[in-house]
Amino acid sequence: MTAVRITISILVASAALWVHSSPATAQVQCNPSDSYFTCSNRFANDVKNTLVDDTAATATEAVAAMNTGDNEESTTNDFLPLLRLLVNDNGAEDEGQKIGFEWAPHFSKTLPSKLTLSLQDSSLYAPLEKALDDAGLDDQGEMLGKQIDAGDDITLAFTISKASEKYGRDPEQQKRLLGALLGPADEDASVGLKEARKNLGTFSTKHADLIKQNTRFQDIADAALRAEYLALAQTQIGLEAENLKKFATKLDSLGFNGLLDLIDNQPQFTFALEFESRDESVGPDEGKATLAYEFGGRNVNTFRHYAHHDCADRVEGDELASEVACLTKYLSITETVAESFRVKIAAEYSKIQRFEFALSDPVFSHAEKPVEHLSFSVAASRQIGKTGSSGPRPRFDLKASYEDLSDDLVRQDRGIATATFSYPVSAGFFLTLGAVYATKPEFRGEVDDEISARLGLTYKLITEK
């Protein structure tokens, strides 16, 4: 009787495999030590790797196709939202920071804020090191340098921003539209997949006490049951993975990922207060307040204007439907001159506290007066050439800033303007030509003219994370 049941079950399983076999399903091979979960995710991983490869290649291509400008003009490089930058570990590592504590005390949905306490990599304060050298106390400087650790430079920062559908780069503010794109992307499953689900579902519910979420195929003692479960699971896994891949492709073609890019260009106000407490050998304490407004010319707001007023496919009286219908079209349109600009306006006030350092044996002292610093800057960048062209695009960066350092008569009212043109010469390499104008050129190094030019090569290192 048992033998007959085994034979029938294997025949049923084989029939199920034969009925639903397809190029995708044929590749699914679960191991006896797998559970449904591990097998499906290993297979989804293989599928994912294909997607990852595609996505990574696309992303690398996209970055390579982007001229991110002269490194000195980091203000307009990519407009990473400050709030996001603070939670981004990679970004923090790039700056030699280690985040120790982070808290997001949102006062309201429209005023997201963040409080961070970070430990900064630190070294001996350079002017102090020089003063020690000048006094013939190099060994003292070396000893002090060795005593410095991560806790000697602590920064406490509070950042607040404005968030709404029109301001801020938090995708939460655009969930209405992001969610609306899922509907058209989520097409009905194929009849084959529905039948595979029905077959596996009927089997799994019938044997629900035996088959749990983490049950491995080899844990099912009955060989016929195990074979039937394995066959049904493999068939369904293959079809599910195929269906999910189709969903991912459709979602992308509807502009889901493009919309995330537009969100990154939204206008953004940020106000940040920062206090950096340093050990006496690392440097003076410093307080800083920054107010910034930045935007990319092509963003969700400009898209909405297009979808509601200019798009031929818009749905009268239904703004959301118009946005869903017009997103792909907007993303495919060549940007206007205004849309190709990215702008940042910022004001910063900082105060470096009085610095005092003294040694009793040998007798040595070094002191610096407190310094107040006020600056205003406007930076703009523009990619030129055709959008969507396969190669990187040339780019212009312009920045003008005004600085005022109190207690320093010479440095007061200092103005600097820079213009940089970056031209792609080969993959990752850019030729940069820059002009710098300064009202007080003596603070720009070894130059004595008000205007100077520079020429250089920039190499952009793209890391895959």
Partner 1 sequence: MATIEMQQVAFNVAKPNSVLKFEIKQKTGFVATAKLDMDIDTVAKWKSEEIAGKVVEETLVPVGLYTLEIKIVGINKAPIDIDVDVTLVPSGKAAQVQPMNFKKKKGGDICQAIAFVSIA
- Candidates 195-203, 306-314, 383-391, 422-430; binding stretch for partner 1 (CB under 8 A): 195-203
Q: What is the CA radius of gyration of the chain?
A: 30
Given 127, 145, 171, 297, the residue binding partner 1 (CB under 8 A): 171
User: Would you state the structure tokens that stand for residue 8, as one six-digit string?
Assistant: 């029938």
**CA distances, 16 to each of 25, 55, 198 (Å):** 12, 34, 11
When asked if residue 194 is in the footprint of partner 1 (CB under 8 A), the reply is yes
* First-residue to last-residue Cα distance in the chain: 57
Report the residue number, 47 or 157, with the smaller CB distance to partner 1: 47
When asked if residue 115 is in the footprint of partner 1 (CB under 8 A), the reply is no
Report the residue number, 257 or 406, with the smaller CB distance to partner 1: 257
Q: What is the dihedral of CA 97, 101, 161, 300, to 10 degrees?
A: 70
Given 111, 260, 451, 462, the residue binding partner 1 (CB under 8 A): 260
Query: Which residues are within 8 A (CB) of 211 and not within 5 positions of it... i.e. 6 or more apart?
Result: 36, 204, 220, 229
Given 3, 126, 191, 221, the residue binding partner 1 (CB under 8 A): 191
SS3 98: strand
Binding mask 86-105 for partner 1 (x = CB under 8 A): -xx-----------------
- Candidates 15-23, 84-92, 298-306, 342-350; binding stretch for partner 1 (CB under 8 A): 84-92
**Closest Cα partner for 243 from 391, 44, 26, 93?**
44
Q: From CA 181, how far away is CA 413, in angstroms rounded?
A: 52
When asked if residue 182 is in the footprint of partner 1 (CB under 8 A), the reply is yes
When asked if residue 213 is in the footprint of partner 1 (CB under 8 A), the reply is yes
When asked if residue 40 is in the footprint of partner 1 (CB under 8 A), the reply is yes
When asked if residue 205 is in the footprint of partner 1 (CB under 8 A), the reply is yes
**CA distances, 45 to each of 48, 150, 186, 237, 238 (Å):** 4, 39, 21, 12, 12
When asked if residue 106 is in the footprint of partner 1 (CB under 8 A), the reply is no
DSSP bridge partners of 276: 155, 286
When asked if residue 200 is in the footprint of partner 1 (CB under 8 A), the reply is yes
Query: Which residues are within 8 A (CB) of 88 and not within 5 positions of it... i.e. 6 or more apart?
Result: 80
Applying CB under 8 A, the residues found at the interface with partner 1 are 36-37, 40-41, 44, 47-48, 51-52, 55-56, 59, 84, 87-88, 171-172, 175-176, 178-183, 186, 188-189, 191, 194-195, 197-198, 200-202, 204-206, 208-209, 211, 213, 240-241, 244-245, 247-248, 251, 256-257, 260
